[in-house]
Amino acid sequence: MRVFLQALGCRLNEAERERWTRDCRAHGFRLATDAAQADLVVINTCAVTAESVRKSRQVIRRAQRANPLAKLVVSGCYASLAAADIGAELGVDLVVSNQEKDRLIALVAERLDLPVMPAIATQPGENALPGHGRHRAFVKVQDGCRYRCAFCIVTKARGEERSRAVAEIIDEINALHGGGVQEAVLAGVHLGGYGSDNAGSLSALVRAVLAGTSIPRLRLGSLEPWELDPDFWPLFDDPRLLPHLHLPIQSGADSVLRRMSRRCRSDEFRALVAQARQAVPGMNITTDIIVGFPGETDAEWQETLGFAAEMAFGHIHIFAYSPRTGTKAAAMPDQVAREVKRARSAQLHDVARRSRQRVLEAACGQEFEVLIEGRDDQPDGAAASWSGYTPNYLRVEICDSRRDLDNQIVRVRAEGLSDDGERLIAHLLA
């Protein structure tokens, strides 16, 4: 049984896909590199925006055309929100809800009556490796969200908050590390809410992971800019916890944040970022910003532009607002015209580019430990150009080595910026 797995959207979807990879191997299934080669196709869909829904439907149809004989299974947020439509209109074989997806491979084998290799026929430990030999793995630690931001359909699709057991998370990270993974990323819908259902906390989880594993690098996924307790910042005293936080602000105008039902205002966010940068040297802050939220005026937009420029974000993930049926914002008056959103997005992309370059320029002359994740071979036989990320998640290109550095952690000195200003150019120190 050959299985092709595909994930769209967020890091949590990617973490779930990687878990399904290991579950496939445990069931004796082989992994296919594309849908055309597979007996079973599994697609983890996204619904965060209307474009995400369109792309999810497009990927489902493309898989059907590529291999009409394969069994087709869909899960994820779009599948959970439109299960009846997917089954009737797109003709998939099985829809697995978000609430059941942690057992997806077992459910698929059972409900579609797939042949399963006996456990005795599989090699011990073979399911430890991630599906694509990755250097970094996403580990799902939490699902669901108790908050209801006005624009967000994902909380409806994902349901109530559910936290995985600490021991289970530690076992998964140790298995990944044993398979060669150098960096684990803790991911969740509301990562900061980890432990809300089991008397735990994110800080306690991170402490336990650092104590119970020896993986060289531990990174945190997206965190809402609230609920970080006083015990959080000392965690970074351990250099294995990497100094990068993705804190979605969504708007720099407090009036827009109120309409969004967000629980953080701009001054609170400023104070949080200042605290982070003071507590953790080199801390890189990245964020999400929504463009064209209903009722967003020119004055409110200028507030957001000014805020984004002031905060010196290392990266801004820019979303053009799209109404999602079932959310509070979809019924709000004064929806912003598409051409206005397009123009504002262009302005914000310019601010983000200049901000990112300032962050990269400030890193020039510094030394970093970089996890090498790929190589760009030169056609003229010149030295290979290796690439990876610093602990604070700055892209680095290393252009002075012919050695095989893949998946190694090496020390480099950043010397300057690439021609496009998007990454650091560095040289090995040893």
Q: What is the pLDDT along the chain (430 residues), one digit of tens a residue?
A: 899 999 998 889 999 998 999 899 888 899 999 999 999 999 999 999 889 999 999 999 999 899 988 999 999 999 989 887 776 667 789 999 998 999 999 999 888 877 644 333 333 333 333 444 479 999 999 999 999 999 999 888 888 999 999 999 999 999 999 999 999 999 999 999 999 999 899 999 999 999 999 999 999 999 999 988 888 999 999 999 999 999 999 999 999 999 999 999 999 999 999 999 999 999 999 999 999 999 999 999 999 999 999 999 999 999 999 999 899 999 999 999 999 999 999 999 999 999 999 999 999 999 999 999 988 765 555 566 899 999 999 999 998 666 788 999 999 999 999 999 999 999 999 7
CA dist 286 and 279 (Å) reads 17
Task: State whether residue 213 is helix, strand or coil.
Answer: coil
| Residue type at 210 in one-letter notation | L
CA dist 388 and 139 (Å) reads 20
Q: Which two tokens stand for residue 423?
A: 């990454």
| Residue type at 23 in one-letter notation | D
Domain coordinates in residue numbering, the chain: 2-121, 131-362, 367-428
Q: Return the residue matching tokens 């020896």.
A: 214
Does 3.30.465.10 match the CATH number of domain 131-362?
A: no
CA dist 292 and 298 (Å) reads 10
Measured in degrees and rounded to the nearest 5, phi and psi for residue 414 equal -75, 125
Region of residue 240 (phi > 0: left; psi between -120 and 50: alpha; otherwise: beta): alpha
Is there a contact between 232 and 247 (Cβ–Cβ < 8 Å)?
no
Domain 367-428: state its class: mainly beta
CA dist 425 and 363 (Å) reads 10
CA dist 314 and 354 (Å) reads 10
Q: What is the CA radius of gyration of the chain?
A: 22
Does 3.40.50.12160 match the CATH number of domain 2-121?
A: yes
- pTM for this entry: 0.85
What are the angstrom distances between the C-alpha of 241 and each of 38, 48, 142, 210, 356? 38, 29, 19, 8, 22
